């Protein structure tokens, strides 16, 4: 079992409504069964719905932005900067989600800059990395992850507030979850990369989450792997199943 505190993140993507944000917070998030000593829980609604969740949520669940801007405040229409997120009391952000990379053209360097910006404003950054199906089939998964991580290493020295979310793109939203063995092997390779390129402390201390079709049916088995420190959950984070996923991590740690 991992020695690190687990983290379970819920990424709502571009889903939800004001009514959903309030009812899901009251009915599911405020009834999650976990000890915050074992597990950090972080939910990431859209920026429009964040205040409704923030206003209704209990103390033990944290909130995150799904994205932050490459820039500081200023004439950047449509963007929300890390400085504003911090001012709004938001302590976590995602960066580099595969949808940001593939649908919105974010480069490895962009993701690195966004990660640096979040860290600069005292946010914990959930840095998402992962390979496409063709890259997995071509045997270059570890090279792709290393490339994405190396771009961050160029801009960031202190990794203590980075959480890595390994999300194979072929597993996101497809129902094709990585097997525990495949996820463990890749997480171990990421940890080796941290040891070689950041520090032994970063390799030992950095939480590496698995994401991609995590559900109440597979979470309990995946979390038994020694290098899996929690999950980043998409679809199932909008359903009552999120309760079981958090509970599975809490039980395994307890
Ligand atoms: P999924 O998404 O759980 O719906 O596969 C995961 C993610 O995109 O973070």
What integer best gives the mean pLDDT of the chain? 97
Q: DSSP labels for 7-62?
A: EEEEE-TT---HHHHHHHHHHTGGG----TTTEEEEEE--TTTHHHHHHH--TTEE
**Which pLDDT belongs to residue 166?**
98
For residue 74, report the distance from its CA to the centre of ligand 1, in Å: 32
Query: Which tens digit of pLDDT belongs to each residue from 11-27?
Result: 999 999 999 999 999 99
Query: Which tens digit of pLDDT belongs to each residue from 40-56?
Result: 999 999 999 999 999 99
Using CA positions, which residue lies closest to atom 7 of ligand 1? 234
Query: What sign results for the dihedral spanned by CA atoms 10, 11, 16, 18?
Result: positive
Q: pLDDT class for 3, splitting at 50, 70, 90?
A: confident
Instruction: Give the C-alpha separation, 58 to 104, whole Å.
Output: 33
**Which pLDDT belongs to residue 1?**
63
Pocket of ligand 1 (CB under 6 A): 11, 167, 172-173, 211-214, 232-236
Residue among 99, 131, 135, 167 flagged as catalytic: 167
Instruction: Give the C-alpha separation, 203 to 134, whole Å.
Output: 28
pTM exceeds cut of 0.85: yes
Query: Which tens digit of pLDDT belongs to each residue from 113-149?
Result: 999 999 999 999 999 999 999 999 999 999 999 999 9
Residue 3: partners with Cβ closer than 8 Å, 6 or more residues away: 204
Percent of the chain predicted with pLDDT > 90 = 97
Query: Which tens digit of pLDDT belongs to each residue from 140-189?
Result: 999 999 999 999 999 999 999 999 999 999 999 999 999 999 999 999 99
């Amino acid at each position: 079992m991992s020695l690190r505190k687990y983290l379970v993140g819920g990424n709502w993507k571009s889903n939800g409504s004001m009514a959903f944000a309030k009812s899901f917070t009251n009915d599911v998030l405020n009834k999650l069964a976990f000890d915050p000593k074992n597990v950090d829980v972080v939910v990431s609604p859209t920026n429009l719905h964040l205040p409704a969740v923030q206003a209704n949520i209990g103390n033990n669940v944290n909130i995150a932005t799904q994205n932050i801007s490459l820039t500081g405040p200023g004439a950047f229409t449509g963007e929300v900067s890390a400085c504003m997120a911090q001012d709004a009391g938001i302590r976590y952000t995602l960066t580099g989600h595969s949808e940001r990379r593939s649908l919105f053209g974010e480069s490895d360097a962009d993701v690195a800059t966004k990660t640096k910006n979040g860290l600069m404003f005292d946010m914990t950054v959930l840095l998402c990395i992962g390979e496409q199906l063709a890259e997995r089939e071509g045997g270059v998964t570890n090279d792709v992850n290393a490339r994405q991580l190396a771009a961050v290493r160029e801009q960031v020295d202190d990794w203590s507030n980075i959480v890595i979310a390994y999300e194979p793109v072929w597993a996101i939203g497809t129902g094709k979850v990585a097997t525990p063995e495949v996820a463990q092997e890749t997480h171990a390779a990421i940890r080796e990369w941290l040891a070689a390129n950041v520090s032994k402390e970063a390799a030992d201390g950095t939480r590496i989450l698995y994401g991609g079709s995590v559900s109440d049916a597979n979470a309990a088995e995946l979390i038994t792997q020694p290098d899996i420190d929690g999950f980043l959950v998409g679809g199932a984070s909008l359903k009552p199943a999120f309760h079981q996923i958090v509970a599975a991590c809490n039980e395994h740690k307890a």
